[in-house]
Structure 1
Amino acid sequence: MLLFAMPAGLSAQESGAKVPALVLADGAPRCRGSAGYAADFEGRRTFLWRPQWLESIRQDPAAVKAVTDAGDKAIGGPLYSVTDKPQPVPGASPNEYASIGPYWWPDPKKADGTPYIRRDGEVNPQRNGPEFDKDRLRNLARDVRALSLAAYVSGDERYSSRAAELVRRWFLDPATRMSPNMNFAQGIPGRVDGRAEGIIEASDLATIAEAVGLIEPTGALSREELAGLRQWYADFAMWMATSENGEAEMLKTNNHGVFYDFYLAQFALFAGLEGTARSVVDSFLDFRLGAQMDRQGRFIEELKRTRSWHYSHFVVIGAAKLATIGECLDRDLWNSQLSDGRSLQTARSFLLRYAGNPESWPFSDIDLSGGKLGRMRLTAMQTEQLFERESLSGGADALP
């Protein structure tokens, strides 16, 4: 069994911060450990995607059309594999996932551009090119998500069958599967092959886990294939918990550390490792919230970024996703408090002060100075959606 150990002996029990048990309203769907919502959702083993959210999509004709249109587009799209790169990055096998850091650019003062230099907030388009896997993984998650949702709202097996083909090629076929690690994620040419920060790109793996759970009852993936996929996620979780990059990411004191917790807990649940997921959730109050958030609900490290609005919301999105996973373990992170009263609700209250008027954001931000207020409002809406647990606004696009 994979065990998750907090550094320096820190634990919720030692600090006295205990996550209370979850109390659900009568008749509300319950997420039951590694079985997810399956018992209350006709065998669909989701964890983050709530049955009531998905049902609201199926009951909305406009949302159904949008979902099936996206499914139709995906059904005619390509298959994806990490082996599609023209050649592996130096030191990697063809099956290794590889990407470069988003904010790293060629140095114009150097003939070959290396070592790359950092320009925070400015994304180098090279990272989305064919020589790296970031765009492939993003497109894979987009298509598997679209196909699973289309299968759910329509009952058409063509969608789930195509989703299964995509999953087989990326995760299961020995010739084309991704090795269950991100050793070469967010490398920096001329500096390092891969970095701990690359684990943030596992967001697409989180989407795929939910999408696969949604189509599980269709039989598009056999019992043996589902077991193989769960083993892949177990191996990836093991890599997260034991590798040098994984341990370094665990120790991050910004959004990367928060998302590390969410990914590890979700992947562990998907793989059937409930003890690991429970350990992550139980440690969150002190190890993450107490260390990163001040009494006003501000995550100070995120306020230092050039896109302080985005990252201040992004870190809370990660925490809210972990709280959603915590429900599967009968833990209520939504209302858990530190000894001084700080909680996720403190973070939410801070952000809500500015949600209706992003122009009043008092911190330096390039989106604000660039007049990208619509982008800022969308980020605020996506954050608040996770706290509004019983309703879904915006159709399938609002699914986390």
Structure 2
Amino acid sequence: MKQRWFTFILFLSVIGTSNDVVAQSYANEVAKTLKKQILSEAAWAIKQEAITVTAQSSSRSAGGKHDFFSEGDYWWPDPQNPTGPYIQKDGLTNPEIFVAHRLAMIRFSRIIGAFASAYKLTGEKKYAIAAVVHLKAWFSDPATLMNPNLLYAQAIQGRFTGRGIGIIDTIQLMEVAQGILVMQQAIEPSILKTIKQWFTDYLTWLTSHQYGKDELNAKNNHGTCWVMQVASFATLTGDKKLLDFCRERYQTVLLPDQMAIDGSFPLELARTKPFGYSIFNLDAMTMICQILTVDGHDLWNYKTGDGRSIKKGIEFLYPFVADKNKWPFKKDVMYWENWPVAQPFLVMGANAYHNADWLNTWKKLEHQPNVEEVIRNLPIRHPYIWLN
């Protein structure tokens, strides 16, 4: 009897080791694919000066110098009332809106993502040291820091000085948070504590202010992105209560309410950019699974009672990402030609399910898009730092 039990334990050990080896091989393959890009981006990043929200401002903002400000993308002046409230044109981006803060945050994300990727790849502390300059500028320097809230994001002239919907803008801070985790052993403890406190304060605002509550309860990708970024920031701060809340939210609300039985997202398909929004929401849900799957919590293999799962979502969309000509729904009104790129759901899904086809498709797609709309909706641009 003891011999049988020993054999069984040995078998489980071998299976676990085998899975770890396969997962590591996928991470190594990602590193191999991105090595040249990682080192090139880090070389660029190390030359950059810190630029935060204090570098530029807009007279249309109701906030102050340290407040992040952005405007609703799809809102335009009313031709019938040029000085009156803006009107909506869903899917059509107004090129005159204020985007400087958004671009600064994207730049910040790219810089920290580049440093963290290079640090993980090489182990060289110079990347972490360079990253601290930017981290301090955004999170601790009184002259340049950003206030830990989004009271003035995605404002609409003549209607709102800010909206809960604007919280989606800080998905760009996810790779900052993950980059800090990757490099934290090389960051001075006192500095690390201050940075983590900023994220703690921001999480408090996200979970207590009405804007945060509004975004949490959004029915589409906005609700998904609230959970995704809260999960990311709570991982950095070690907030287990919030992490458990995000897992439950994914299992009981996001997956059953947003995904159809076939794996599609009907609310995204109903938009004027159904292809781009479907990709975006799947990327976000995939990242929720990547962030929140730890020992004892396996979201990758979680299924609802009627069979909805993240794997089904990837299997639904993958054929159309591999060959966009097969897309059976209407084309996006803008940026149809710019999607897909090297989507996170492909590489994270490949790693989770050991699917070589998904990984090979990811390898072939564009890893350094230069279209602003694509970059904004691709917050995970440094997948290597997310793979353990």
Question: TM-score, structure 2 length as denominator?
Answer: 0.81
Is 339-348 or 223-232 further displaced after alignment? 339-348
Q: Tell me, yes or no, if the aligned pair for 1:128 and 1:135 is still in contact at 8 Å.
A: no
Q: Tell me, yes or no, if the aligned pair for 1:92 and 1:184 is still in contact at 8 Å.
A: yes
Pair 1:71–1:353, CA change in 2 (3 A) = closer
Q: Tell me, yes or no, if the aligned pair for 1:292 and 1:300 is still in contact at 8 Å.
A: yes
Partner residue of 1:206 out of 174, 180, 203: 174
* SS of equivalent to 1:25: helix
Counterpart of 2:17? 26
Counterpart of 1:75? 46
Counterpart of 1:177? 145
Measure, in 2, the Cα distance between the counterparts of 1:176 and 1:51.
Answer: 40
Give the CA deviation at 1:210: 1.1
Measure, in 2, the Cα distance between the counterparts of 1:80 and 1:53.
Answer: 35
The answer to whether structure 1 residue 318 and structure 2 residue 288 are counterparts is no
Q: How do residues 49-64 of structure 1 correspond to structure 2 at under 5 angstroms?
A: 55-56=28-29, 58=31, 60=32, 63-64=34-35
Pair 1:212–1:184, CA change in 2 (3 A) = same
Q: Tell me, yes or no, if the aligned pair for 1:317 and 1:386 is still in contact at 8 Å.
A: no
Is 170-179 or 381-390 further displaced after alignment? 381-390
The percent of aligned pairs where both chains have the same amino acid is 26
The answer to whether structure 1 residue 161 and structure 2 residue 129 are counterparts is yes
Partner residue of 2:110 out of 142, 147, 168: 142
CA offset digits 1:135-161 (Å, max 9, x no partner): 110111111111222333344443322
Give the CA deviation at 1:64: 2.9
CA offset digits 1:242-277 (Å, max 9, x no partner): 111000001111011111111112211211111211
Structure with more contact order per residue of length (Cα contacts < 8 Å, sep ≥ 6): 1
Counterpart of 1:383? 345
Counterpart of 2:159? 191
Partner residue of 1:284 out of 239, 244, 250: 250
Counterpart of 2:223? 257
**Aligned length in residues:** 347
Partner residue of 2:201 out of 228, 235, 243: 235
Give the CA deviation at 1:282: 2.1
* SS of equivalent to 1:185: strand
Counterpart of 1:42? none
Partner residue of 1:96 out of 58, 61, 67: 67
CA offset digits 1:177-202 (Å, max 9, x no partner): 11111111111111101111111111
Q: Tell me, yes or no, if the aligned pair for 2:264 and 2:316 is still in contact at 8 Å.
A: yes
CA offset digits 1:347-374 (Å, max 9, x no partner): 222213433332222222226x9862xx
Partner residue of 1:123 out of 81, 93, 106: 93
Q: Tell me, yes or no, if the aligned pair for 2:287 and 2:345 is still in contact at 8 Å.
A: no
Measure, in 2, the Cα distance between the counterparts of 1:162 and 1:54.
Answer: 25
Counterpart of 2:308? 342
Q: How do residues 287-302 of structure 1 correspond to structure 2 at under 5 angstroms?
A: 287-302=253-268
Query: 1:176 is aligned with what amino acid?
Result: T
Counterpart of 1:107? 78
Gaps of 5+ in 2: 1-14, 369-380
Give the CA deviation at 1:232: 1.1
Gaps of 5+ in 1: 1-23, 31-49
Question: TM-score, structure 1 length as denominator?
Answer: 0.79
Counterpart of 1:307? 273
Q: Tell me, yes or no, if the aligned pair for 1:385 and 1:398 is still in contact at 8 Å.
A: no
Give the CA deviation at 1:88: 6.5
